[in-house]
């Protein structure tokens, strides 16, 4: 593509592409520093994944944590992350993220963010940190969006930030140097528009809503809870400009999700099964399509189960199998579901099955009947002996014997993509040849979840770095690029 001149009104200090969790704080900070800022969003509304995410953020040393009397430090946060990821993350990016995390939480606090009263707390859906350092609002990601929207509105009213929705980035305007960009092409409400700027920030999210790209880059079948507009646009276009990839081969699925009631390839995040031992002791077994178990269901860390799933179950599909006593005793099987809800949804809602016999349950689910029968028999023997020789499960409350029998279909799910645009520690995009763009940045999930999660998943460590880097990049541009 050759450079075209842009009209003066289409020339900015900075263009932020994507109005989500990373792009919004970036545009807000840029505006507050007096940069002439354009924020473009391909959707017809701002927010991106904030409409979908739990919006958990984590920080050591934020004001609220100190007021709650919790001892913590950035060094502890660093050590927890190192221990959970086993060193597979980008240490330089994590360091920047956690060193500025408390400031980001306090910034939200100063701007009226509604913290859920129980926060900070320890979250067990991911491998837990040693102390309570995770925050969220009562409405998940929407609570963050509420605060960001109010802050953005002020910058728009002050004339510092212009926002274009229904305006996807469709290409870059290269400059004479291979390591800088002049501007972008935007499809503004269907009209191709050229915009120039001194700096461009890709905050376009990941690609965990694009099954083809996901299978190609992450190498796994996609069952997604990600925001539908996260289709990897920034990554695809940056790679056309020579950008390198980072974080490949590090995807780790989030453990379990019921099929979406209507949409193949998606789960309904609101109906997520509770599969973490500290939150619910399991009465069920997990089986694959052959009817075989593959992990100790009472493993304390969810990380152990996620890794076993990737290693043992290539298509990431498994079923929880339990009997009527398990249904009544082990609550909640799914967030907010009572035992009677399972009965009401069985054989009605996708992925929830009830049958009177093992053979009937196998026929309904597609699990191998003989394999399932053998496994239940072995499990019941383990319960009788108080010893599970194959997997070492210790919590063996009762045999699976009391009809009716139940199965719930689960798939390892993608909340985010792990690979992303390679960047240096200042979030400047790095090219395949190792050179770095002087004025093109990638922040948030666009830089890949693995940068901060490594081959693991950590509480708050996509939302927090997205906010931190959003603000830091804006300051960098104000100081060095303008
Ligand atoms: C169900 C769920 C729960 C999660 N819970 C947590 C959690 O509790 N804590 C945590 O840390 N992480 C969590 N995550 C992950 C985290 O929320 C996301 O990784 C993060 O919000 C991504 O922020 P982002 O700004 O990079 O992307 P997004 O918020 O998705 O923003 C990207 C924006 O760019 C726009 N865009 C895309 N292409 C273009 C284009 N061509 N032109 C213009 N705009 C474009 C998109 O429409 C979107 O608005 C969760 C994810 C999911 C799905």
Residues above pLDDT 70, as percent of the chain: 98
44-84 per-position pLDDT tens digit: 999 999 999 999 999 999 999 999 999 999 999 999 999 99
Residue 99 parent element (H or E) = helix 91-99
What's the 232 CA to ligand 1 centre distance in angstroms? 11
CA distances from 16 to 25, 268, 326, 444, 446 (A): 10, 30, 51, 12, 12
Whether the CB-CB separation of 194 and 3 falls below 8 Å is answered with no
What's the 41 CA to ligand 1 centre distance in angstroms? 12
* Residue 482: predicted pLDDT: 66
Q: Which atom of ligand 1 is nearest to the CA of 463?
A: 11
What's the 24 CA to ligand 1 centre distance in angstroms? 11
Helix (H, G, I), strand (E, B) or coil at 405: strand
Token pair in block for residue 401: 């014997």
What's the 332 CA to ligand 1 centre distance in angstroms? 28
Helix (H, G, I), strand (E, B) or coil at 437: strand
Q: Which atom of ligand 1 is nearest to the CA of 225?
A: 53
Domain boundaries for CATH 3.90.700.10 within the chain: 269-411
* Residue 235: predicted pLDDT: 98
Average pLDDT, the chain: 96
Q: Which atom of ligand 1 is nearest to the CA of 229?
A: 47
**Rounded Cα distance, 276 and 403, in Å:** 25
What's the 124 CA to ligand 1 centre distance in angstroms? 22
168-223 per-position pLDDT tens digit: 999 999 899 999 999 999 999 999 999 999 999 999 999 999 999 999 999 999 99
Instruction: Examine the pLDDT at 23 and tell me if it is beyond 80.
Output: yes
Token pair in block for residue 6: 């842009």
**Rounded Cα distance, 208 and 33, in Å:** 33
Q: Which atom of ligand 1 is nearest to the CA of 46?
A: 49
370-383 per-position pLDDT tens digit: 999 999 999 999 99
Q: Which atom of ligand 1 is nearest to the CA of 224?
A: 53
Q: What is the average per-residue pLDDT within 244-263?
A: 93
Q: What is the average per-residue pLDDT within 331-345?
A: 96
Read off the pLDDT band of 2 (50, 70, 90): very low
* Residue 8: predicted pLDDT: 66
Token pair in block for residue 436: 């770095």
Helix (H, G, I), strand (E, B) or coil at 121: strand
> Please, which contacts does 352-360 make with residues 24 or more away whose CB atoms are closer than 8 Å?
352/258, 352/406, 352/408, 352/409, 353/406, 353/407, 353/408, 353/409, 354/404, 354/405, 354/406, 355/404, 355/405, 356/403, 356/404, 356/405, 357/403, 357/405, 358/405
* Phi, psi dihedral angles at 319 (to 5 degrees): -120, 140
Q: Which atom of ligand 1 is nearest to the CA of 464?
A: 11
* The CATH fold of domain 8-248+418-481: FAD/NAD(P)-binding domain (3.50.50)
**Rounded Cα distance, 447 and 18, in Å:** 13
In this structure, whether the domain defined by 269-411 belongs to CATH 3.90.700.10 is answered with: yes
Most ligand 1 atoms within 8 A of CB, residue of 462, 468, 473 to mutate: 462
| Ligand 1, atom 48: closest residue by C-alpha | 48
| Ligand 1, atom 17: closest residue by C-alpha | 53
Q: What is the average per-residue pLDDT within 37-47?
A: 98
407-439 per-position pLDDT tens digit: 999 999 999 999 999 999 999 999 999 999 999
Q: CB neighbours (10 Å) of residue 92?
A: 12
What's the 358 CA to ligand 1 centre distance in angstroms? 42
In this structure, the residues whose C-beta lies within 6 A of any atom of ligand 1 are 17-23, 40-43, 48-50, 52-56, 168-169, 203-205, 225-227, 229-230, 233, 269, 415-416, 444-446, 460-463, 466
Domain boundaries for CATH 3.50.50.60 within the chain: 8-248+418-481
Instruction: Examine the pLDDT at 270 and tell me if it is beyond 90.
Output: no
CA atoms within 13 A on the CB side of 436: 12
* Residue 1: predicted pLDDT: 44
Read off the pLDDT band of 5 (50, 70, 90): low
């Amino acid at each position: 593509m050759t450079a075209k001149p842009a009209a003066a009104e289409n020339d900015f200090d900075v263009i932020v592409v994507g109005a989500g969790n990373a792009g919004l704080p970036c545009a807000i900070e840029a505006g507050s520093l007096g940069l002439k800022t354009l924020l473009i969003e391909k959707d017809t509304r701002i927010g991106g994944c904030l409409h979908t995410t739990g919006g958990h953020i984590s920080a050591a040393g934020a004001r609220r944590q100190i007021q709650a009397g919790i001892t913590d430090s950035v060094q502890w946060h660093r050590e927890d992350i190192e221990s959970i990821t086993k060193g597979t993350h980008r240490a330089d990016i994590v360091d920047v993220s956690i060193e500025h995390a408390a400031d980001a939480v306090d910034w939200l606090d100063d701007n009226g963010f509604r913290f859920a009263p129980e926060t900070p707390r320890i979250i067990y859906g991911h491998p837990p940190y040693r102390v309570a350092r995770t925050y969220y609002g009562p409405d998940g990601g929407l609570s963050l969006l509420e605060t960001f929207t109010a802050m953005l509105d002020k910058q728009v009213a002050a004339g510092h930030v212009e926002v274009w929705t229904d305006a996807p980035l469709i290409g870059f305007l290269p400059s004479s140097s291979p390591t800088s960009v002049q501007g972008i092409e935007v499809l503004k409400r269907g009209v191709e528009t050229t915009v120039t700027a001194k700096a461009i920030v890709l905050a376009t999210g990941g690609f965990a809503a694009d099954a083809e790209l996901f299978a190609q880059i992450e190498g796994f079948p996609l069952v997604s809870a990600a925001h539908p507009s996260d289709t990897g646009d920034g990554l695809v276009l940056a790679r056309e400009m020579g950008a390198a990839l980072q974080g490949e081969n590090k995807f780790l699925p989030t453990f379990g999700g019921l099929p979406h009631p209507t949409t193949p390839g998606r789960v309904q995040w609101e109906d997520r099964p509770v599969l973490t031992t500290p939150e619910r002791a399991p009465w069920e077994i997990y089986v694959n399509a052959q009817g075989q178990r593959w992990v100790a269901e009472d493993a304390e860390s969810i990380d152990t189960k996620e890794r076993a799933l990737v290693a043992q179950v290539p298509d990431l599909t498994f079923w929880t199998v339990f009997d009527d006593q398990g249904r009544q005793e082990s609550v909640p099987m799914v967030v907010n579901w009572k035992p009677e809800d399972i009965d009401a949804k069985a054989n009605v809602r996708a992925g929830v099955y009830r049958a009177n016999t093992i053979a009937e349950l196998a026929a309904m689910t597609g699990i191998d009947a003989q394999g399932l029968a053998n496994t239940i028999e072995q499990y019941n023997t383990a319960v009788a002996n108080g010893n599970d020789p194959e997997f070492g499960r210790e919590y063996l409350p009762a045999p699976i014997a009391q009809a009716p029998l139940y199965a719930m279909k689960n798939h390892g799910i993608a909340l985010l993509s792990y690979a992303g645009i390679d960047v240096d520690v200042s979030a400047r995009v790095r090219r395949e040849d190792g050179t770095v763009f002087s004025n093109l940045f990638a922040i948030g999930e666009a830089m890949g979840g693995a940068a901060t999660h490594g081959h693991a998943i950590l509480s708050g460590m996509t939302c927090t770095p997205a906010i931190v880097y959003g603000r830091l990049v804006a300051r960098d541009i104000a100081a060095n690029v303008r």
